[in-house]
Amino acid sequence: MLKEIFILCLTIIHEEFVSCVPASYQTARDAILNAERQQRLGSQIQLNSAELALDKFLLQNKQTTIENARVGVSDFPPSINFFQSKKWIDDSPVFKIMEKMPKGCALHVHDSSITSLDWVISNVTYRDNCYICFNETTGTPSLHFFNKPPANKGCEWKLISTARSLFGNDKAFDLQLFRNLSIIVDNPDDTYVTVNDVWKKFNKYFGLINGVFDYAPVFKDYFHQALVEFYQDNVQCVEVRATLPQVYELDGTVHDQDWVVQAYQNISKEFAAQNPNFFGTKIIYSGIRFNPVATILNNVKDAIRLMKEYPDFVVGFDLVGQEGPGKTLLYYIDDLLYPSQQQPPVYLPYFFHGGETDWKDTRVDENLIDAILLNTSRVGHGFALNKHPYIKQVMSERGIAVEVNPISNQVLKLVADIRNHPAALLMTGKFPVVISSDDPAVWNAKPLSHDFYMAFMALAGEDEGIRILKQLAMNSITYSAMTSQEKKRALASWNEQWVKFINDWNTYNSNSHHVSRSDHTVKIIG
């Protein structure tokens, strides 16, 4: 009897010694913990011993980071703006594993914000015929390719090579250009107070990049380079929200939509052929949510036509642009109902951005309702979902996944601290969640690894290890727009890559310093 009390008095909860916990209380406590653990996303996954070894390593590192921050010894990267935390994340053992891990598909990214700015600057702006002009009033640059630049009052075109040599320091010029393209600043909290402040700069990015992105040779190489970078980041497929812009040649030719889709398709096929572990690319044609009703109707009709002409490649339709001030789905309701009102009805899958807002029950927030009524296949962001329990339930029942983009939501100022991101709540249940990166190039994030880091460190709990990562990767295939045949093949291929990833880690770490280092640091906690 005495002995039993003694053992209970040494009960350890979260590394802390708690005085005497009565046995019945402890049992009731464990029951609650277990009930919650069983509900969590990924909790059903069974791990083998090789996976458990990596699980242990990840958990030790995560716990060390969290516990040190909890007691104030250090800071917690996901609670700090990504512009400031990136350097620090990049050095962490957890991030290095996120990079190596096969992550499946990136299901929410945009056409002209997926290739690193380093490549854009070092490659695109060093090509022949690349011109720059600086607005005489504001100093703001624009970029474009020309054979012979037209006169442009108030913003005189000159060869960027000339501007560079006039500037006198190529490196400093390119750094300025990087700063003008990217939304990264040293003090984001002061520079961008509201969502609208940062979107103003974000929109400037698109204005600047599109001048060169729309140039045919760049357009093709940009997309190819995106696939290279995503694949290097261990992403096996990409679904791109694409606006299919008017792509130009130096001689003034402007290509039609078919050319643009064919360029995408040719590059995707070629890339997949060269990289057998890559599953492929899909295009989600996207209209702009500031355009007139008539324009969006034409976009919808184009989407229907393109889906027919490029089956299993063009897979649906969305509306893009800042949701807050933009037009609502309801505003375009006649356009969006057009396919289902044809005789017979035409099936156009939707992939709507919805609820990318902090404003509860506003017209923006209500986009979630229209997205569901329009049978959306997935919801982009769904940041406002927790304020709509009914919609959450419908999505859960119908398997409509939410595409969570943690870093985008942080840098575009919906949430400062990723621990407070609403997806943390979604992941406590078996909600269909996928992780994506939205516009990683604009804030110099890796194609998907940084967002996976955030999901792992801050959306999942301190004691959630490799199960959640495996579940998120598999979800990205399950909820992709691939056909069921394609999904089967993709899942098999992903599984092979996963096994290799686990085995490689175990081989490399079988008696290396990594494991012992984390064993050591975890002791700091007590």
Ligand X SMILES: *[C@@H]1O[C@H](CO)[C@@H](O)[C@H](O)[C@H]1NC(C)=O
197, 127 in Cβ contact below 8 A? no
155 binds, among ligand X, Zn ion, none (CB under 5 to 8 A by kind): ligand X
180 binds, among Zn ion, ligand X, none (CB under 5 to 8 A by kind): ligand X
**Of 229, 239, 323, 356, which is the active-site residue?**
356
Both structure tokens of 384: 């406002």
How is residue 149 annotated by DSSP?
A: P
Residue 134 in contact with ligand X, rule: CB under 6 A: yes
Among 9, 15, 17, 154, binds ligand X (CB under 6 A): 154
340 binds, among ligand X, Zn ion, none (CB under 5 to 8 A by kind): ligand X
Q: Which of residues 87-126 bind ligand X (CB under 6 A)?
A: 123, 126
> How far apart are CB 93 and ligand X at their closest, in Å?
32
> How far apart are CB 44 and ligand X at their closest, in Å?
29
Residue 374 in contact with ligand X, rule: CB under 6 A: yes
Q: Which of residues 280-339 bind Zn ion (CB under 5 A)?
A: none
326, 296 in Cβ contact below 8 A? no
Among 42, 141, 354, 380, binds ligand X (CB under 6 A): 141
Q: Which of residues 159-178 bind ligand X (CB under 6 A)?
A: 173, 176-177
- Residue closest to 183 by CA, chosen among 113, 120, 246, 134: 113
The count of chain residues that interact with ligand X, using the rule CB under 6 A, is 25
How is residue 78 annotated by DSSP?
A: G
Handedness of CA 418, 420, 421, 424 (dihedral sign): positive
Give the binding range for ligand X (CB under 6 A) out of 256-264, 359-367, 429-437, 452-460.
Answer: 256-264
303, 336 in Cβ contact below 8 A? no
Residue 203 in contact with ligand X, rule: CB under 6 A: no
Residue 259 in contact with ligand X, rule: CB under 6 A: yes
Using the minimum distance from each CB to Zn ion, give the nearer residue, 51 or 323. 323
CB neighbourhood size of 388 (10 A): 21
Partners of 350 in the β-ladder: 317
x/- track of binding to ligand X for residues 217-236 (CB under 6 A): ----x---------------
Q: How far apart are CA 293 and CA 274, in angstroms?
A: 42
Q: How far apart are CA 258 and CA 213, in angstroms?
A: 17
Using the minimum distance from each CB to ligand X, give the nearer residue, 182 or 497. 182
Q: How far is CA 143 from CA 160, 172, 180, in A?
A: 9, 18, 12
Q: What angle do CA 167, 225, 88 make, to 5 degrees?
A: 75
326, 203 in Cβ contact below 8 A? no
| 106 three-class SS | strand
x/- track of binding to ligand X for residues 180-199 (CB under 6 A): x-------------------
147 binds, among Zn ion, ligand X, none (CB under 5 to 8 A by kind): none
| 512 three-class SS | coil
Q: What is the 3-state secondary structure (H, E, C) of 193-222?
A: CCHHHHHHHHHHHHHHHHHHHCEHHHHHHH
Length of the chain: 526
> How far apart are CB 397 and ligand X at their closest, in Å?
13
Residue whose C-beta lies closest to Zn ion: 438
> How far apart are CB 318 and Zn ion at their closest, in Å?
8
Q: How far is CA 481 from CA 107, 234, 262, 372, in A?
A: 9, 19, 19, 17
Alpha carbon 433 to its chain centroid, in Å, reads 12
Using the minimum distance from each CB to ligand X, give the nearer residue, 80 or 374. 374
392, 355 in Cβ contact below 8 A? no
Using the minimum distance from each CB to ligand X, give the nearer residue, 139 or 150. 139
Q: Which of residues 335-354 bind ligand X (CB under 6 A)?
A: 337, 340
Both structure tokens of 415: 């949430």
28, 453 in Cβ contact below 8 A? no
375 binds, among ligand X, Zn ion, none (CB under 5 to 8 A by kind): ligand X
Active site residue 4: no
> How far apart are CB 190 and ligand X at their closest, in Å?
18
Q: How far apart are CA 181 and CA 86, in angstroms?
A: 18
Active site residue 403: no
135 binds, among ligand X, Zn ion, none (CB under 5 to 8 A by kind): ligand X
Residue 503 in contact with ligand X, rule: CB under 6 A: no
59, 463 in Cβ contact below 8 A? yes
Q: Which residues contact 426 (CB under 8 A, 6 or more apart)?
A: 41, 385, 386, 392, 402, 404, 433
Among 49, 137, 343, 511, binds ligand X (CB under 6 A): 137
Q: How far apart are CA 185 and CA 83, in angstroms?
A: 7
374 binds, among ligand X, Zn ion, none (CB under 5 to 8 A by kind): ligand X
Give the binding range for ligand X (CB under 6 A) out of 64-72, 131-139, 470-478, 517-525.
Answer: 131-139
| 11 three-class SS | coil
**Of 110, 144, 381, 421, which is the active-site residue?**
381
Using the minimum distance from each CB to ligand X, give the nearer residue, 139 or 168. 139
- Residue closest to 173 by CA, chosen among 162, 184, 183: 162
Q: Which of residues 399-438 bind Zn ion (CB under 5 A)?
A: 438
438 binds, among ligand X, Zn ion, none (CB under 5 to 8 A by kind): Zn ion
157 binds, among Zn ion, ligand X, none (CB under 5 to 8 A by kind): none
Using the minimum distance from each CB to ligand X, give the nearer residue, 27 or 162. 162
Name the site residues for ligand X (rule: CB under 6 A).
123, 126-127, 134-135, 137-141, 154-155, 173, 176-177, 180, 221, 259, 262-263, 266, 337, 340, 374-375
Interface with Zn ion by CB under 5 A: which residues? 438
Catalytic residues: 356, 381
